[in-house]
Amino acid sequence: MKFNAEVKISLKKGMLNPEAATIERALALLKYDVENTDTIKIIKFSLEGENTDIIRREVDEMCQRLLCNPVIHNYEIGISPED
CATH 3.30.1280.10 fits 2-81, yes or no: yes
pLDDT at residue 83 is higher than 80: no
Q: Which pLDDT belongs to residue 59?
A: 98
pTM for the complete prediction?
0.86
The residues that bridge with 78 in the sheet, in sequence order, are 6
Q: Which pLDDT belongs to residue 35?
A: 86
pLDDT of 12-64, one tens digit each?
999 999 999 999 999 999 999 998 889 999 999 999 999 999 999 999 999 99
pLDDT of 54-64, one tens digit each?
999 999 999 99
Q: 76 Cβ partners below 8 Å, 6+ apart?
A: 7, 8
Q: Which pLDDT belongs to residue 3?
A: 98
